[in-house]
């Protein structure tokens, strides 16, 4: 009797060695994402202090984001080449690229994989919330910014300047900080870097426990580790698939603006634009990250109930309202706190929800994940740098205008991508409700599949040739 089996199902069942020690791998991934949140949120609160210590302005200090995002972009491009070739535990011991794809692969057959994805990003927010508190104790007191024609009266600390122990006030055009303050700001970077480096030990342990091969287990056996979700389809379908990937690229490109620009520049906005104290700038960054994480905590149970589409609608409504409040920032001192909290709560679960939404239409392979990560890295490289330039060159309210514009653009692109995918009939067939034929496909089942495909060859020769060649390479 012929067995009607999708070749992708056979591929998924042939090699499940990567599922060994799945709980430990998941815990290790969560720990590394928490450390990733730490490293991602250190720069923003220290930006004003570094701007002061380096005697520069917001327009030029924003180039720091470009350098970091450029390295992220290079890593994303390498991810597309090495993810399916290297052992995943070794890869994550060296880098944190494509962690979402790794989690989806680990739990692709589990009913709560959506909740696990939200939980993964939740622990990232925990790290992002803790980072400003680490930085807070190492910030430098920055004088209030006034017009260039006005001279600033600065009272030096008698503990740092023995010559001024009589508390005399000195008239300065620019206050020159002592060199020890540079070392002070460097401390949180050293601490966070040490924590991030230590997190790789978990994946190294897993690498040596599971196996010492540097290659992906499926590739080591001469098998194709990841099926291409365009196999057996026409050229027209592949064109549709490519266009949808382009739309997803722009979705993640704009979405990262709404995520990283507030985390990076909200402290600059309130300190330079609203004349707040530097310490309060770090605290409002922490408030943004805290509500960012709170939304992901709430999204963990909601992801098991609501569809990703509904989650995205809720998220975009909240984040647009939050950034809209910033238009009234001069009316009351509490509005920036409310706006940061609301916008952080809205954007928190948007990225994992968008990733799960895309998974409903296409399979999240390493190639697709590379497209997403590239979009994120390019957006993180362009967004903060462009916003910082506009804030320094024109007005600090450009921070608000850029975020509101990005929110409306993201809404338009999301609707366009959803309409296009449904109109063209895109659907991810990898996570269908049908169960695999067995935990591990036997040689008899593979032989039966071959005979079935040969019988169907007369009706759809092109499609069968592709699938049969794909199956033969697995045997």
Are both 419 and 293 inside the same structural domain? yes
Domain that holds residue 166: 148-175
Are both 136 and 93 inside the same structural domain? yes
**Which residue has 């409310």 as its token pair?**
338
* CATH number, domain with residue 276: 1.20.1250.20
Please return the burial class of 409, using the count of CB atoms within 10 Å of its CB with bins 0-12, 13-18 and 19+.
Answer: middle
Residue 434 lies in a domain: no
Are both 161 and 268 inside the same structural domain? no
Q: Report d(CA 399, CA 173) in Å as an integer.
A: 28
Q: Report d(CA 40, CA 48) in Å as an integer.
A: 16
Are both 163 and 51 inside the same structural domain? no
Residue 128 lies in a domain: yes
Number of domains the chain is built from: 3
Three-state DSSP string of 289-301: HHHHHHHHHHHHH
Are both 321 and 405 inside the same structural domain? yes
Residue 205 lies in a domain: yes
Tokens in use for 150? Answer: 């006005």
Burial 13-28 (b: 16+ CB within 10 A, else e): bbbeebeeeeeebbeb
Are both 309 and 352 inside the same structural domain? yes
Q: Report d(CA 143, CA 154) in Å as an integer.
A: 8
- Predicted confidence at residue 250, as pLDDT, reads 93
Residue 394 lies in a domain: yes
Are both 166 and 182 inside the same structural domain? no
- Predicted confidence at residue 67, as pLDDT, reads 77
Three-state DSSP string of the chain: CCCCCCHHHHHHHHCCHHHCCHHHHHHHHHHHHHHHHHHHCCHHHHHHHHHHHCCCCHHHHCHHHHHHHHHHHHHHHHHHHHCCCECHHHHHHHCCCCHHHHHHHHCCCCCCHHHHHHHHHHHHHHHHHHHHHHHHCCCCCCCCCCCCCCCEEECCCCCCCHHHCCCCCEEECCCCCCCHHHHHHHHHHHHHHHHHHHHHHHHHHHHHHHCCCCECHHHHCCCCCCCCCCCCCCHHHHHHHHHHHHHHHHHHHHHHHHHHHHHHHHHHHHHHHCCCCHHHHHHHHHHHHHHHHHHHHHHHHHCCCCCHHHHHHHHHHHHHHHHHHHHHCCCCCCHHHHHHHHHHHHHHCHHHHHHHHHHCCCCCCHHHHHHHHHHHHHHHHHHHHHHHHHHHHCCCCHHHHHHHHHHHHHHHHHHHHHHHHHHHCCCCCCCCCCCCCCCCCCHHHHHHHHHHHHHCCCCCHHHHHHHHHHHHHHC
Are both 290 and 403 inside the same structural domain? yes
Residue 286 lies in a domain: yes
From the list 254, 466, 234, 206, the residue with the least C-alpha distance to 378 is 254
CA distances from 444 to 240, 270, 466 (A): 36, 68, 21
Residue 436 lies in a domain: no
Are both 463 and 362 inside the same structural domain? no
**Which residue has 């960012």 as its token pair?**
292
Q: Report d(CA 300, CA 118) in Å as an integer.
A: 5
Residue 152 lies in a domain: yes
From the list 128, 175, 163, 162, the residue with the least C-alpha distance to 351 is 128
Are both 359 and 299 inside the same structural domain? yes
For 296, other C-beta atoms within 10 Å of its C-beta total 27
pTM of the model: 0.64
From the list 147, 122, 142, the residue with the least C-alpha distance to 45 is 142
Our measurement of the distance from residue 113's CA atom to the centroid of its chain's CA atoms, rounded to an integer in Å, reads 18
CA distances from 249 to 20, 104, 377, 465 (A): 33, 19, 11, 32
Q: Report d(CA 428, CA 365) in Å as an integer.
A: 11
For 71, other C-beta atoms within 10 Å of its C-beta total 11
Across the chain, which has 475 residues, the per-10-residue mean pLDDT values are: 39 51 83 84 78 76 75 72 69 68 76 82 83 78 52 41 44 46 76 83 75 56 46 70 90 92 89 86 86 88 88 92 92 92 92 87 76 83 88 91 94 90 74 40 56 57 44 40
Q: Report d(CA 370, CA 54) in Å as an integer.
A: 36
Are both 183 and 312 inside the same structural domain? yes
CA distances from 409 to 147, 255, 258, 341, 382 (A): 36, 9, 11, 22, 16
Tokens in use for 268? Answer: 């600059």
Residue 438 lies in a domain: no
Tokens in use for 376? Answer: 């994120």
Are both 358 and 252 inside the same structural domain? yes
Please return the burial class of 354, using the count of CB atoms within 10 Å of its CB with bins 0-12, 13-18 and 19+.
Answer: buried
């Amino acid at each position: 009797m012929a067995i009607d089996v999708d070749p992708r199902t056979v591929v998924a069942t042939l090699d499940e060695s990567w599922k060994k020690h799945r709980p430990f791998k998941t815990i290790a991934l969560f720990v590394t994402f928490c450390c990733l949140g730490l490293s991602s949120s250190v720069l923003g609160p220290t930006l004003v202090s570094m701007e002061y210590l380096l005697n520069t302005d917001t327009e030029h200090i924003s180039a720091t984001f470009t350098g970091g995002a450029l390295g992220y972009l290079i890593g994303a491009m390498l991810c597309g080449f090495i993810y399916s070739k290297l052992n995943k535990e070794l890869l994550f011991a060296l880098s944190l690229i494509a962690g979402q794809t790794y989690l989806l692969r680990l739990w692709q057959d589990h009913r709560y994989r959506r909740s696990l994805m939200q939980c993964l990003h939740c622990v990232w927010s925990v790290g992002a919330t803790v980072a400003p508190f680490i930085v807070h104790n190492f910030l430098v007191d920055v004088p209030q910014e006034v017009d260039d024609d006005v001279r600033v009266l600065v009272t030096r600390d008698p503990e740092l300047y023995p010559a001024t122990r009589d508390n005399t006030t000195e008239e300065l055009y620019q206050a020159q900080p002592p060199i020890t303050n540079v070392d002070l700001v460097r401390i949180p970077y050293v601490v966070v870097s040490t924590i991030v480096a230590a997190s790789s030990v978990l994946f190294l342990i897993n690498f040596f426990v599971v196996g010492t091969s540097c290659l992906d287990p499926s590739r080591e056996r001469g098998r194709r580790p990841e099926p291409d979700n365009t196999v057996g389809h026409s050229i027209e379908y592949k064109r549709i698939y490519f266009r949808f990937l382009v739309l997803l690229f722009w979705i993640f490109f704009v979405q990262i603006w709404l995520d990283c620009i507030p985390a990076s520049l909200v402290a600059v906005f309130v300190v330079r634009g609203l004349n707040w104290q530097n310490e309060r700038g770090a605290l409002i960054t922490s408030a943004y990250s805290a509500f960012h994480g709170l939304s992901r905590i709430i999204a963990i149970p909601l992801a098991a109930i609501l569809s990703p589409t509904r989650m995205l609608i809720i998220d975009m409504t909240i984040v647009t309202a939050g950034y809209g409040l910033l238009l009234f920032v001069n009316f009351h001192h509490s509005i920036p706190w409310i706006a940061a909290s609301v916008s952080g709560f809205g954007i928190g679960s948007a990225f994992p929800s968008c990733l799960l939404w895309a998974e409903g239409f296409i399979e999240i392979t390493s190639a697709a994940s590379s497209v997403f990560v590239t979009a994120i890295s390019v957006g993180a490289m362009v967004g903060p740098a462009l916003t910082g330039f506009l804030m320094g060159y024109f007005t600090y309210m450009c921070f608000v205008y850029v975020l509101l514009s990005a929110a409306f653009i993201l809404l338009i692109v999301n609707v366009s991508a959803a309409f296009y995918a449904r109109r063209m009939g895109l659907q991810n067939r990898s996570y269908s409700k049908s169960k695999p034929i067995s935990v591990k496909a036997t040689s008899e089942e593979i032989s039966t599949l071959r005979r079935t495909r040969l019988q169907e060859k007369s009706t759809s020769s092109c499609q069968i040739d592709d699938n049969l060649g794909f199956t033969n390479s697995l045997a």
